[in-house]
Structure 1
């Protein structure tokens, strides 16, 4: 546990990030059983920084937290510390805030209690979950977007969050969309596409292991549950940290699921096949 203001501590050792008397504003939040502290020397930052928190966070009055993120505004540079480690220093506030968002998400995904985070898009259809495992640039957000535009319920475009029974819970962050050939992301809410955001956990019915390949024809092969676990394991954030929790959870998730693997071209073919399955 880490002590929040008035002193930033790591264990019993004072952190030499800056003169601790100059940390003038702080707040703590909780999500997935984790307490996070955010402190800064710029009080006006606390409110807008909330736009960079993961979904489902709640404010808390806790003075002791599991991880502290400290954001410092200097004369010419901005600095981020994660606990007592220097994370990034840059002339651009945008760069530092984006790194804060990325690091916070990763920490939560690794350390969440009673949840397993899998890099995957997730939607619901007819009371069942469809998950699309894959890392960045695999095309999962494009497929999620097409599915919710076709009437699926939105759960996530980044993480499929599994409980100990293997069910998928909502992680309703805005979709991160990229234009072809560009790295810059644009965030759009699911509601902007006319979608409904899920509120209840769903059992996994379909796993689509696929990445975009130009002009590819989608001819997927069906995998066994064992191979399905391996595909999910390759995309699971805390796989090495919590194998005793991860493996049983993934096994439960795919027990009754159909697992399809194959490269795809444009999303329309895949979406039509999925809709036929649930018609």
Structure 2
């Protein structure tokens, strides 16, 4: 993120929402804050504004933006995020904390900047996945292998990032640990954000680039070759069973952001996506073992 992409001291009144109803919202307390920096960006056609009252947090921000984002100079936004650093006096000690808002909704309040930024990252991805019109976002890990995608549908805590990391270490090409992004033809596009690898209990999440794992990210869209519907269970032997293409579609649909909002959009894309794919399901043990099995 270069200095040219940031605009300092911009008053609230320069922001305009695309929705007239949003544009007329009484800004209240946010209107009285002196904003020290801001960033306009576009991701998948969705226009985002992010403003901060402490410019030092901007150096951390770039690590939490969506893959492939582009800077913008337009103050017209679909979503406006406000990250506030505040201080409170408690027993003669001054404590800092962070508040994050999307438009007028408070998303989190925390003493940890990284927690606030992680919430921004998560909510920003979700809002883009809902609003985008020409892509379908499915919660899934994705790697490329021999020109085709291995897609592992699953929400948070399902173990998909751990499995994706193991597949990358075993030689697969990294596409995403969070979303399978499908176009109208059912091809999977890269969404190569840093992997969010969970550490031991109490140590949180480590954001890790694919290069740190010794791998590389995919560039081109590819067809799905395999759908792996699985969850981790300690000590279990990997013994998958084949499922039908229809069951594969349902596994993906269950993890599709707009499944209930726009099923008429999602179902045809998913059907095309798995038409020539092998679909399997089963509980898995350690990620390193299943990674070797899937690539052989």
TM-score, structure 2 length as denominator?
0.86
- Whether 2:153 is the aligned partner of 1:141: answer no
- Whether 2:252 is the aligned partner of 1:232: answer yes
Q: 2:60 aligns with which of 48, 68, 77?
A: 48
Q: 2:176 aligns with which of 143, 153, 156?
A: 156
The alignment's C-alpha RMSD in Å is 1.9
- Whether 2:77 is the aligned partner of 1:57: answer no
Question: Following TM superposition, by how much is the alpha carbon of 1:90 offset from its aligned partner in structure 2, in angstroms?
Answer: 3.2
Q: d(CA) in 2 for partners of 1:117 and 1:42?
A: 33
Q: d(CA) in 1 for partners of 2:130 and 2:168?
A: 27
Aligned residue pair count: 273
Q: d(CA) in 2 for partners of 1:158 and 1:21?
A: 34
Residues 141-170 of structure 1 show CA distances to partners (whole Å, capped at 9, x for unaligned) of 121112111111110111111111111111
TM-score, structure 1 length as denominator?
0.91
Maintained 8 Å contact 1:214/1:265? yes
- Whether 2:112 is the aligned partner of 1:92: answer yes
Residues 117-140 of structure 1 show CA distances to partners (whole Å, capped at 9, x for unaligned) of 111110111111111111122221
Q: d(CA) in 2 for partners of 1:45 and 1:271?
A: 38
Superposition pairs for residues 96-245 of structure 1, below 5 Å? Answer: 96-181=116-201, 184-245=204-265
Q: Secondary structure at the match of 1:121?
A: strand
Superposition pairs for residues 237-276 of structure 1, below 5 Å? Answer: 237-276=257-296
Maintained 8 Å contact 1:55/1:171? yes
Q: d(CA) in 2 for partners of 1:201 and 1:43?
A: 37
Q: d(CA) in 2 for partners of 1:113 and 1:183?
A: 37
Deviates more, 1:260-269 or 1:87-96: 87-96
Maintained 8 Å contact 1:34/1:113? no
Maintained 8 Å contact 1:88/1:99? yes
Deviates more, 1:84-93 or 1:103-112: 84-93
Q: 1:29 aligns with which of 20, 29, 41?
A: 41
Q: For the structure 1 residues 15 and 111, does the alpha-carbon distance in structure 2 shift closer, same or farther, using more than 3 Å as the test?
A: same
Q: d(CA) in 2 for partners of 1:209 and 1:63?
A: 42
Question: Following TM superposition, by how much is the alpha carbon of 1:245 offset from its aligned partner in structure 2, in angstroms?
Answer: 1.3
Maintained 8 Å contact 1:134/1:140? yes
Q: d(CA) in 2 for partners of 1:260 and 1:183?
A: 33
Residues 183-205 of structure 1 show CA distances to partners (whole Å, capped at 9, x for unaligned) of 61111111112212100000001
Q: d(CA) in 1 for partners of 2:226 and 2:186?
A: 13
Maintained 8 Å contact 1:120/1:140? yes
> Which ranges in structure 1 are unaligned for 5 or more consecutive residues?
none
Residues 193-236 of structure 1 show CA distances to partners (whole Å, capped at 9, x for unaligned) of 22121000000010111111112121211111111111111111
Maintained 8 Å contact 1:5/1:63? no
> Which ranges in structure 2 are unaligned for 5 or more consecutive residues?
1-9, 17-21, 89-96
Q: 1:70 aligns with which of 77, 82, 86?
A: 82
Q: d(CA) in 2 for partners of 1:165 and 1:262?
A: 28
